[in-house]
Chain A
Amino acid sequence: MDLYLPIAEMSVNAPLLIALGAVVGFISGLFGIGGGFLMTPVLVFMGIPPAVAVASLSSHVAASSFSSVTAYSRRRMVDFRMGGILAGGGIVGAFFGVEAFRVLRLLGQADLVVAVSYLLFLGVIGALMLWESLGTILRRRRGETPQPRRDRRPILLYALPWKMRFPKSRLYISVIPPIVLGVFVGVLSAIMGVGGGFILVPAMVYLLRMPASVVVGTSLFQIVITTALTSVLQAGRNQTVDIVLATLLLVGGVLGAQLGARASARFRAEELRALLALVVLLVGLRMGLGLFIQPDDPFVLVSGVG
């Protein structure tokens, strides 16, 4: 059954999009990420204008993240205070990101920046995460005790001013690192059409040293706020949110997210991380490949006539 998208101005196969939303939603609930980094490339591949795909996705990511964050908060796995501070930074970042994306689109460099960001962030983070989680898995198989963390009190977190207590995460750290992290993720969220979970989750584990149990829920909480705002900004500033596209995706997405959040209980944290790392790495390499292989046609039509 085909459906015409009023903003993208093309027709798409509705059941296919719902199924796609469900698959990405499942992954989102399973790993505690928005799943946008998977969805954006697929939508663009389907011929949806990148600007519309990126903007409409934020609303899908907000929906599926909201669906799973409620599941996590019932199990008391969300640090709302930390999430709020990250989101505060995220809001600022989203404003800059939407403006930056607008300028990039007009310069015709949006594709390039998107491809480079994917290659860089997904590639590096995927590789690091894979390395770390495989190490953990191997050590557990051999029956070794997990390596103690070398530095229990990183200077970055404790030497900076404006310390704050985060009882849920059992932390007493400066608010500056979380805010900076939030801003950074907010900018990426607008440019890459992602929630930023794939950066937040490892950053919370390795940089902020948050307990693994609250990381996923807190990351989702931050993503809900940032992406909901991004979708309003994209609609208001660029008129690129396609409500029909977003609704199709989120119908599948919210259901998938619930199933994913349930399934996540059956896996060990490091196994999930290894799997996520692999997915992240592959998507990053696939997106970055376009930068290096010779294009079929040396010319491209650029969207965004002001």
Chain B
Amino acid sequence: MAIALPPPQPPASVSATLTETDVRVTSGFRGAKISVYGAVFDPSGRPSDVVVVVRGPVQPVRIARKVRVGGVWLNSRPVVFEGAPGFYRAASTRPLGDIARFGQLRKLGLGLDHLAIAAPAERRVETRYGVRDMVVSALGADYYAWRAAVVRLKQTAGLYSADAGGVAFVDRGLFHARVDLPAQAPIGQYTARVILFQDGRPVSDRTLPLKVEKVGMERALYLFAHQRPWSYGLVSALIALCAGWAASRAFRRS
């Protein structure tokens, strides 16, 4: 007796788009509100979860710990964490811990607890940035306190966030997530990764590019400052002196 096999189902998939792929930073820039819209295609209608992760350009983080020496609070030697994104936001339909297991989240680097940042684990004292005897990592047991501090400080600065409920299904299979870029978000190439989870496993994902760039005046000034620093310095000093002179002339007449 043959068992009637169910017809082979096409695998579930996700597709998504950003309302803005090019954030232009002008003099009036006060942050940007970007929406991610997407749809889950799954004929079987299994329960789906969607995670949207927006990452900014990677920027090494330097962090120091305040230590008390003779009644005075001093900075310890700074520790460099590599691989930290300049901006990170993880939005999901449910708390990440309910969507997938620890190992899975760790592998994909989903959520603030699983961000792939590291102060290269082995103890090394080396010359960096022209400074001798810099500790790159010698944290030992305190490592997790340091790592948590990086995330906490970035969260306080409004650059890292996690929102378990930031992705909402607005209609059958259709979802929406909002990403607010603060004004202090770094300039550079971002990626928005949209991952569809079913039964705790990622079944489909999309990566969308997002660019944050200075345009017009801001860009011109930034490039001027970095490409011709000495002329830039002379110009800024001249502006200062001219302004001072102009003000004193104006007041002399009045």
Contact = CB atoms under 8 A, between A and B. Distances in A.
A179 interface: no
A243 B237 CA distance: 9
B143 interface: no
Interface of chain A, main secondary structure: helix
A233 B233 contact: yes
B240 A232 contact: no
Chain B interface residue bracket vs A: 35 or more
Contact of A258 (B80, B129, B152, B247): B247
Contacts of B129: 106, 305-306
Given A232-B233, A241-B225, A243-B221, 6 more contacts: A9-B184, A9-B187, A59-B236, A236-B230, A243-B232, A300-B153
Contacts of B29: 4, 11
Given A300-B153, A301-B61, A66 B75 contact: no
Interface string A202-238: 0000000000000000000000100011011111110
Nearest to B222: A6
Interface in B128-184: 128-131, 134, 146, 149-150, 152-154, 156-157, 183-184
A241 B236 contact: yes
Nearest to A241: B236
Contacts of B75: 108-109, 111-112, 300, 302
B66 A300 contact: yes
A304 B187 CA distance: 17
A63 B235 contact: no
Interface in B70-128: 71-78, 80, 128
B219 to A, nearest CB: 8
B12 interface: no
Contacts of B153: 297, 299-301
Contacts of A71: 248, 251
Contacts of A250: 239-240, 243-244
Interface stretch (B2-10, B20-28, B196-204): B20-28
Contact of A295 (B66, B76, B80): B66
Contacts of A295: 66, 73
17 contacts: A4-B29, A4-B218, A7-B225, A9-B186, A11-B31, A62-B244, A63-B243, A70-B244, A112-B75, A232-B230, A233-B233, A235-B232, A236-B230, A236-B232, A239-B225, A294-B73, A301-B150
A275 interface: no
Given A2-B28, A4-B26, A299 B243 contact: no
A66 B149 contact: no
Interface of B: 25-31, 59-66, 71-78, 80, 128-131, 134, 146, 149-150, 152-154, 156-157, 183-184, 186-187, 214, 217-219, 221-222, 225-226, 229-230, 232-237, 239-241, 243-249, 251-252
Nearest to B183: A11
A98 B24 CA distance: 34
B54 to A, nearest CB: 18
Contacts of B252: 74
A6 B243 contact: no
Contact of A3 (B27, B76, B244): B27
Closest 6 CB pairs of A and B: A235-B233, A66-B244, A306-B129, A254-B247, A299-B149, A108-B78
A232 B28 contact: no
A126 B26 CA distance: 43
Given A235-B230, A239-B229, A295-B73, A228 B240 contact: yes
Interface in A264-306: 290-295, 297-306
Contacts of A231: 233, 236-237, 240
Contacts of B73: 290-295
Contact of A108 (B27, B60, B62, B225): B62
B251 A235 contact: no
B77 A108 contact: yes
Interface in A27-77: 59-60, 62-71, 74
Contacts of B219: 6
A255 B247 contact: yes
Given A11-B30, A107-B78, A241-B232, A300 B251 contact: no
B218 A70 contact: no
Contacts of B245: 66-67, 70
Contact of B63 (A224, A254, A258, A299): A299
A56 B243 CA distance: 15
A243 B244 contact: no
B77 A66 contact: no
Interface string A248-265: 001100110110001000
B112 to A, nearest CB: 15
Nearest to A249: B240
Contact of A291 (B60, B72, B236): B72
Contacts of B62: 108, 301-305
A274 B183 CA distance: 42
A235 B243 contact: no
B156 to A, nearest CB: 8
